[in-house]
């Protein structure tokens, strides 16, 4: 089926960490199995990285809907200058 992704901007300041919840990336694929959805990070954050909370400081390039529901994924700012809103892509 068609995949629909709604991603709200995340605002981070220097050194911030924001745990992704289902309020940020929300996707459906028209099936009854949303837990099988996988997200690929095609454009990483400019001033930081996406991390799994069990592996801090290690950038990840994909994560699952189950990771988001369990609040296991964070967007982490790298302390460089230049904070602002970033959208997950």
Task: Look at residue 2 in the predicted model and tell me its pLDDT.
Answer: 63
Q: Which of 55, 76, 52, 46 is nearest to 64 (CA)?
A: 52
Those residues whose C-beta lies under 8 Å from the C-beta of residue 20, and which sit 6 or more positions away, are 10, 68, 71, 73, 74, 75, 88
Banded pLDDT at 59 (limits 50, 70, 90): very high
- Of 18-22, 27-31, 61-65, the range with the lowest mean pLDDT is 27-31
Q: Does residue 44 have a pLDDT over 50?
A: yes
């Amino acid at each position: 089926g068609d995949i629909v992704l709604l991603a709200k901007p995340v605002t981070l300041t220097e050194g911030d960490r924001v745990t992704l919840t289902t309020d940020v990336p929300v996707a459906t694929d028209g099936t009854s199995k949303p837990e099988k959805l996988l997200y690929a990070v095609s454009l990483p954050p400019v001033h930081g990285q996406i991390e799994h909370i069990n592996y801090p400081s290690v950038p990840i390039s994909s994560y699952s809907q189950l990771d988001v529901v369990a609040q296991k994924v964070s967007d982490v700012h790298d302390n460089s200058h230049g904070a602002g809103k970033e959208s997950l892509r």
